[in-house]
Amino acid sequence: MAVILNANSLSYSYQPNQPVLCNVSLSVDTNTIMYLLGHNGCGKTTLLEVLSGLRAPQQGDVWLNGSSVYKLPSHRRAQRIGLVPQMHTPIFAYTVRDVVLMGRTPYLRLFGTPGREDHEIVDEAIEAVGLISQRSRSYTELSGGEQRLTLIARGLAQQTDVLLLDEPTAHLDPRNQRLVLEKVAQLAEQKVAFVISSHNPNSALLYAHQIAVMKAGQIVARGTPADVLTEETLSMSYDMPVEVIYNQEQVARAVMPRRIDTSNGGGLLSLP
């Protein structure tokens, strides 16, 4: 597989001498799902914003198919790389269909209006996330999980080469988590590369091709799930004891926090 997105030595600070990203480098192949793991405040969301071109780093560059994302015209960049944020507060009570239709904006001419093909793409995206019966409802009336699905549908309607998802399964029940991630896996097989920030190592275990673990603005481990999702790496990155559960073939099947056994003076409990 060819590298589609490449970041070199990225550093970013919101305030002088307080770096949020420190010399971060990573590459994403075509048809690949990469997970970014790490605790709150480690830099995952900032990294996604820098990768998307929304923020320009103080150091380093991001290349998309050989072109710097910061030198691409904004509409061209939006046709090739998309960002689905974790939080979104609309100003107006748009319908679900209106919100998803915004994903077609990079393809419209100045003062242009969406055509039949745009509307067909939008309806396909809404159906893909299971909201076709809700498409005429106001976005502001939806549950948190339904709002997440709407934003993901907007990202799908954008039809980019790379889609960056910031906590895409936040606020979703297990069924909708699976719905979203199975759709991601299906699209990755076809044409889209994904970079997903997440707090859930088990989702990464099931769906990731590559994982980058972050801590304090740096990537501390990178590789396949088998290489990265180890007790040592996860315990270090999350600053807590973690246990990895393996099957009889020694393939990791689950990641769990380890409880403290208060009955023996603070030792660790293992799952039976």
pLDDT at 239 over 70: yes
Contacts of 251 (CB under 8 A, 6+ apart): 226
Rg (CA), the chain: 20
Q: Which two tokens stand for residue 14?
A: 């919101």
For residue 263, what pLDDT is reported? 63
pLDDT at 9 over 80: yes
pLDDT category at 269 given cuts 50, 70, 90 is low
For residue 192, what pLDDT is reported? 87
Terminal-to-terminal C-alpha distance of the chain: 41
Residues 232 and 168 in one domain: yes
Residue 194 lies in a domain: yes
pTM given for the model: 0.88
- CA dihedral over 231, 234, 239, 243, signed as positive or negative: negative
Can you tell me which residue has the tokens 């989702």? Answer: 203
Residue 118 lies in a domain: no
Tens of pLDDT, residues 25-67? 999 999 999 999 999 999 999 999 999 999 999 999 999 988 9
For residue 164, what pLDDT is reported? 96
Task: Of 238, 219, 228, 221, give the one whose Cα is nearest residue 22.
Answer: 219
Q: What's phi and psi for 112, nearest 5 deg?
A: -80, 165
For residue 103, what pLDDT is reported? 93
53 in Cβ contact with 59 (< 8 Å): no
Residues 189 and 266 in one domain: no
Residues 81 and 23 in one domain: yes
Residue 260 lies in a domain: yes
Residue 98 lies in a domain: no
Tens of pLDDT, residues 115-165? 999 999 999 999 988 899 999 999 988 887 888 889 889 998 999 999 999
- Domain extent for 225: 3-93+160-238
- The count of structural domains within the chain is 2
